[in-house]
Chains A and B, each alone.
Chain A
């Protein structure tokens, strides 16, 4: 079974009124990295996921979840 990583980065960013660049600056990576994570192209390291969660005032589980294609 192929599992994908779904994320809610965009939603949490919108809640804080942050752009991708703002989040990139907050966690110390390039804006491209945030863009590729948001679009599911790049799976971030645990360290980066934890930093993003801290910056967006959420938990890693809030931001990321496994999508096994079952729709749930």
Chain B
């Protein structure tokens, strides 16, 4: 295909007309947004654990149920966003560009590492159990947070690979 423009080449190869900048912007936005939501999740889980302690000595209110449920819903939302964020409002080409095969591979690695990290965290809590007083509700929240945080942070870290533009210094 010597002499063909990149766009002509893309048409011949049957790939979508692209993306480029919008896809990279979407990837960068995703790398910023996902860790920011982790802070929200950490705060919600802290509130939920406090609530779980309070309802053991006081009558349960509707707001307590909401506080206990919120971190679960945010975790689910974050994991859902891990697969699609923040491309909900982007066009199809940009979404495809931001979810190419490198990103799919990064997701696969991040999910694997997240699982292993969570198992190790549970193991550490099982070992610490006889020596430190751990309530079951706190264990569930720690495990949930470790799972979501390790998946997202691993993914963000993996997505940094290749971010530098090797052609930038070329004339």
Contact = CB atoms under 8 A, between A and B. Distances in A.
B171 to A, nearest CB: 12
A54 B16 CA distance: 16
Contacts of A22: 6
A32 B6 contact: no
B97 A32 contact: no
Interface centre among B1, B6, B98 (most CB of A within 10 A): B6
Contact of B13 (A10, A24, A33, A54): A54
Nearest to A42: B102
B102 A26 contact: no
B88 to A, nearest CB: 19
B116 to A, nearest CB: 21
Contacts of A36: 102, 161-162
Contacts of A32: 24, 27, 102, 159, 161-163
Interface of B: 1-2, 6-7, 9-10, 12-13, 15-16, 18-20, 23-24, 27, 96-98, 100-103, 105, 159, 161-167, 170
23 contacts: A22-B6, A25-B6, A25-B20, A28-B10, A28-B15, A28-B97, A30-B19, A30-B27, A30-B97, A30-B102, A30-B103, A31-B20, A32-B27, A32-B163, A33-B162, A35-B162, A35-B164, A36-B161, A42-B105, A42-B162, A45-B101, A48-B101, A57-B2
